[in-house]
C-alpha cells in the first residue's frame, strides 16, 4: 500500500493527533513540515490543500483531505490495524460527541485562550494573566463535560481501547498541563486524570512528542 503524506508542523496539536492516529494504526507515512510560524499555511501552495489555511492536511493515493476528524476516519478505514471506531454504537457516538466538544469548545478555550497566551506572551510584559485567569473556568468546564461523557471506569475516554477522541485530546492536555491552570483542572477531575496517566504511556504519545 502506498505511503500517505501528512502536512503540518509537529508542535501543532492537530498534527500531533494525526501522527498519533497513524502510529496507533502502524501506518508508515511521509511528514511534510509546514512552517506555520512563518505563515507557510497562508501561501498559495498550501491554500490549495486547505482553503481555510489551517493545519494539518493529508494526501493518500492522490486523495487529498483536510479536517482532522475526516483524516482520522479515512486512516482508520483505509489501513489495517486496530480499529479506532468503537464497535458499540453508544460508545462510537460518545467518541464523536467528545471530538465535537473538543473542536467546537475545547481547542479555543484551552489552546487559544490559555496555552497560546503563555507560549506567545509579550517578551517584555509577560503573559496576560488576567485573560488567562478569566479563561481558566471555561477550560475547566469543557474538561468536566468531557469527563461527564466518559461511560465507566475505563482507561480511555469511551472504553477499554483507544478511540478518536483520546487522540485528539491528548496533545491538548500535554500542553495544558505544562501550566498551573491545567494541573489544577486535572486535579479536580479524577477520571480524566486517570485517563491522562494511561494515554501518556502509549508509544503513539511518546513517539510524537514535539521537539521544542
Ligand X SMILES: N[C@@H](CCC(=O)N[C@@H](CS)C(=O)NCC(=O)O)C(=O)O
Decide: helix, strand or coil at residue 59. strand
Interaction between residue 173 and ligand X (CB under 6 A) = no
Number of residues near ligand X (by CB under 6 A):
10
Residue whose C-alpha cell is 500535554: 174
Spatial separation of the C-alpha atoms in residues 130 and 78, rounded to whole Å = 46
- Which H or E run includes 44? helix 44-47
Minimum CB distance to ligand X smaller for 38 or for 81: 38
Interaction between residue 165 and ligand X (CB under 6 A) = no
Out of 13, 147, 204, 208, the residue judged to bind ligand X by CB under 6 A? 13
Site for ligand X in 58-97 (CB under 6 A): 67-68
Distances in Å between the Cα of 50 and the Cα atoms of 8, 45, 184 are 11, 9, 36
Out of 55, 167, 169, 199, the residue judged to bind ligand X by CB under 6 A? 55
Out of 6, 12, 20, 158, the residue judged to bind ligand X by CB under 6 A? 12
Residue in 154, 182, 187, 184 with CA at minimum distance from that of residue 170: 182
Q: Which stretch binds ligand X (CB under 6 A): 7-15, 79-87, 147-155, 184-192?
A: 7-15
Residue whose C-alpha cell is 492536511: 57
Spatial separation of the C-alpha atoms in residues 10 and 91, rounded to whole Å = 30
Residue 156: DSSP 8-state: B
Interaction between residue 208 and ligand X (CB under 6 A) = no
Q: Which stretch binds ligand X (CB under 6 A): 10-18, 27-35, 74-82, 198-206?
A: 10-18
> Which residues sit at the interface with ligand X, rule CB under 6 A?
12-14, 36, 41, 54-55, 67-68, 103
Amino acid at each position: 500500500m502506498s505511503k500517505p503524506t501528512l502536512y503540518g508542523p509537529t508542535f501543532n496539536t492537530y498534527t500531533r493527533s494525526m501522527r498519533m492516529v497513524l502510529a496507533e494504526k502502524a501506518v508508515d507515512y511521509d511528514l511534510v513540515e509546514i512552517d506555520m510560524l512563518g505563515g507557510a499555511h497562508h501561501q498559495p501552495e498550501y491554500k490549495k490543500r486547505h482553503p481555510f489555511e489551517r493545519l494539518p492536511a493529508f494526501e493518500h493515493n492522490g486523495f487529498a483531505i483536510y479536517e482532522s476528524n475526516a483524516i482520522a476516519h479515512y486512516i482508520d478505514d483505509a489501513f489495517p490495524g486496530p480499529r479506532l471506531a468503537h464497535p458499540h454504537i453508544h460508545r462510537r457516538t460518545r467518541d464523536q460527541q467528545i471530538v465535537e466538544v473538543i473542536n467546537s469548545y475545547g481547542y479555543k478555550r484551552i489552546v487559544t485562550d490559555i496555552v497560546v497566551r503563555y507560549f506567545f506572551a509579550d517578551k517584555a510584559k509577560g503573559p496576560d494573566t488576567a485573560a488567562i485567569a478569566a479563561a481558566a473556568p471555561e477550560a475547566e468546564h469543557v474538561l468536566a463535560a468531557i469527563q461527564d461523557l466518559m461511560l465507566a471506569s475505563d482507561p480511555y475516554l469511551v472504553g477499554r481501547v483507544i478511540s478518536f477522541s483520546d487522540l485528539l485530546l491528548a496533545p491538548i492536555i500535554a500542553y495544558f498541563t505544562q501550566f498551573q491552570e491545567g494541573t489544577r483542572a486535572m486535579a479536580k477531575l479524577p477520571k480524566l486524570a486517570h485517563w491522562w496517566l494511561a494515554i501518556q504511556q502509549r508509544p503513539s504519545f511518546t513517539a510524537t512528542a514535539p521537539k521544542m
